[in-house]
Chain A
């Protein structure tokens, strides 16, 4: 069974510091996503990425956020200057949209970000 991996599993940082969350999506997938989930709340879309560029981003994904796929395998989310309200679980996902039964999406296990 293919899997999406994320590192680190837990990141603790001071407010104002930069963090980079890393993800390795499924190799033959074409669409990549970052989501976040604040404890007890719903999953929120941050950004989608296709063909080496951002397809869509949410209102949450402001200038403090950026994504990269530097080497064709890793997919990173950077938060330049973290705020207390950035504390959440961050999930990476990759999606193969081939039509019909081939459509599958896999989530990584998540990175729990705690901003102090």
Chain B
């Protein structure tokens, strides 16, 4: 079957670093997305990893290990506006996108 696992909730402090993990089991793999979603809004694209390794975009970085079925999203220098849900999603070989349930990140001052 297809399964995407990520923690339901995490809490971190403003200015700190947080890592949100995602593990997946899918029948095929063509890439992994990370999105940010604030309550009541549409998801916002953060990253798309196809190859193993770390990709950095400003304060956000995303890592992929295809052999381990594992990815993480790293957020640095946390700001209050980073309080949101973070969604991990896998794109399979037929262009079906399977979403995890999302991780709600709470930032404390």
For A57, the closest partner residue in chain B by CB is: B96
Interface size on B (CB < 8 Å)? 23
Q: Which residue of A lies closest to B87 (CB)?
A: A43
User: Could you say which residues of chain A place their CB within 8 Å of the CB of B48?
Assistant: 97, 103-105
Let me know if A52 is at the binding interface, CB within 8 A: no
Residues of B at the A interface (CB closer than 8 Å) are 31, 33, 35, 37, 41-45, 48, 50, 87, 89, 92, 94-102
Given contacts A42-B101, A42-B102, A43-B87, contact A104 B95 (CB under 8 A): no
A45 nearest CB across to chain B (Å)? 5
Contact between chains at B97 and A33 (CB < 8 Å):
yes
Stretch of A14-22, A68-76, A78-86, A107-115 that contacts chain B: A107-115
> Most chain-B Cβ atoms within 10 A of its Cβ — which of A58, A99, A107?
A107
* 9 CB-based A-B contacts, threshold 8 Å: A42-B102, A43-B43, A43-B89, A48-B97, A50-B95, A56-B95, A91-B43, A107-B43, A110-B42
